[in-house]
């Protein structure tokens, strides 16, 4: 059975007003979602951040705050900055791979198509681990 109060008001053990700022974004059946942002930002800071936005942007703001809070809970030192760092590394790798492949094209072109192609015979998919995906 789902209570009429949102997850935030249940967590904070208070009445959920009809104009509750949390209600649309923190449904009662997902208590961990609110617990996570509360742990990192505190309820009043989350309310303040949502209140300063127009209604149509609040859902996405709540989602990104939850994402960042979950990352920070999982990694207290780096949070989601770890993901950013990993993605920069992936891009650097891809950039190197592309440069090598282009060098190989130049080599093949100059040798009349007789160049070896072993350098670029590895998998075409970039090694992005599932942990770096949003």
Give CA–CA dist 97/103, Å, rounded.
10
Stretch that binds its own copies, among 9-17, 19-27, 28-36, 113-121 (CB under 8 A): 113-121
Between 32 and 60, whose beta carbon lies closer to its own copies?
A: 60
Q: How far apart are CA 117 and CA 84, in angstroms?
A: 33
Q: Is 3 within 8 Å of 11 (Cβ atoms)?
A: no
Least CB distance to its own copies at residue 3 (A):
27
The residue among 119, 131, 6, 1 whose CA lies nearest residue 62 is: 6
Going by C-alpha positions, the residue among 27, 60, 70, 62 that lies closest to residue 46 is: 62
What is the 8-class DSSP label of residue 116? Answer: -
Answer whether 58's CB lies under 8 Å from 25's CB: yes
Q: Does 10 bind its own copies (CB under 8 A)?
A: no
Site size with its own copies, rule: CB under 8 A: 55
115 binds its own copies, rule: CB under 8 A? yes
Site string for its own copies, 86-105 (x = CB under 8 A): -xx-xx--xx-xxx-xx-xx
Q: Is 1 helix (H, G, I), strand (E, B) or coil?
A: coil
Shortest gap between Cβ of 75 and its own copies (angstroms)? 9
Residues that bind its own copies (CB under 8 A): 40-42, 44-45, 49, 52-53, 57, 60-61, 64-65, 67-68, 72, 76-81, 83-85, 87-88, 90-91, 94-95, 97-99, 101-102, 104-106, 108-115, 117, 120, 124-126, 128, 133-134
């Amino acid at each position: 059975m789902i209570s009429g109060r949102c997850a935030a008001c249940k967590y904070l053990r208070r009445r959920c007003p009809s104009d509750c700022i949390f209600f649309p974004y923190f449904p009662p059946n997902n208590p961990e979602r609110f617990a996570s942002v509360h742990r990192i930002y505190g309820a009043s800071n989350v309310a303040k951040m949502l209140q300063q936005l127009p209604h149509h942007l609040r859902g996405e703001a709540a989602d990104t705050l939850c994402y960042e809070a979950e990352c920070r809970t999982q990694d207290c030192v780096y949070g989601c900055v770890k993901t950013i760092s990993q993605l920069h590394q992936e891009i650097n790798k891809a950039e190197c791979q592309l440069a090598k492949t282009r060098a190989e094209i130049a080599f093949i072109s100059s040798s009349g198509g007789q160049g070896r192609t072993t350098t670029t015979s590895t998998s075409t998919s970039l090694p992005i681990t599932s942990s770096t995906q949003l």
